[in-house]
Chain A
Amino acid sequence: GAVVSQHPSRVICKSGTSVKIECRSLDFQATTMFWYRQFPKKSLMLMATSNEGSKATYEQGVEKDKFLINHASLTLSTLTVTSAHPEDSSFYICSARSGLGNQPQHFGDGTRLSIL
């Protein structure tokens, strides 16, 4: 149980393109989803927290107009990297949690984004 599916697993696109990444909870309802960014050989850096039906809460230093997050249903959240540039190249990972805070977060397998 507690499977989180992330799509696509890898995307390569040209500078200036907008890229959408999907995060789905397959067998549970995710009241809260989180988006992380991970640089090579580094820990996960939280970008934003989203609750279903609400606006996402962004961490300090994360541009909300650059990284658009939508959590329209209890099983789907999307991250759109708008007008992506090479410095946005990274490994993006989502996680999902059901119910109250004492439930563990379950992670997707990440999306490797490469901007040429």
Chain B
Amino acid sequence: QQQVKQSPQSLIVQKGGISIINCAYENTAFDYFPWYQQFPGKGPALLIAIRPDVSEKKEGRFTISFNKSAKQFSLHIMDSQPGDSATYFCAAINNFGNEKLTFGTGTRLTIIP
């Protein structure tokens, strides 16, 4: 019940295209859903996050779409750039429960020219 399933495992998108990464969860107690971006040899960096009381959050080229009834959320990267090439992790946390982040398995995104 603590799992967060993430897909696809890897993704290749042409420069300027839209990159879409999907995640699904089971635990309805999760109440905060962050996305992290990780470059090789570096720690994850918080990219954008959403709470379940909203269906969408946009920050620049990055948008989270959240479907509470389906227990799914996704990251959309608009106008994808080579500099976006990294591994992306979705995560979920029950902020007033055990307060541990549950990570997805990661998506390796490659943006080709």
Contact = CB atoms under 8 A, between A and B. Distances in A.
Contacts of A110: 41-43
Nearest to B45: A107
A112 B41 contact: yes
Interface residues on B, range: 20 to 34
B49 A44 contact: no
A41 B40 CA distance: 10
A93 B103 contact: no
A1 to B, nearest CB: 12
Interface in A63-112: 93, 95, 100-102, 104-110, 112
A50 interface: no
Interface stretch (B12-20, B62-70, B76-84, B88-96): B88-96
B43 A109 contact: yes
B44 A44 contact: yes
Contacts of A34: 100-101
Contact of A108 (B43, B46, B104): B43
B53 interface: no
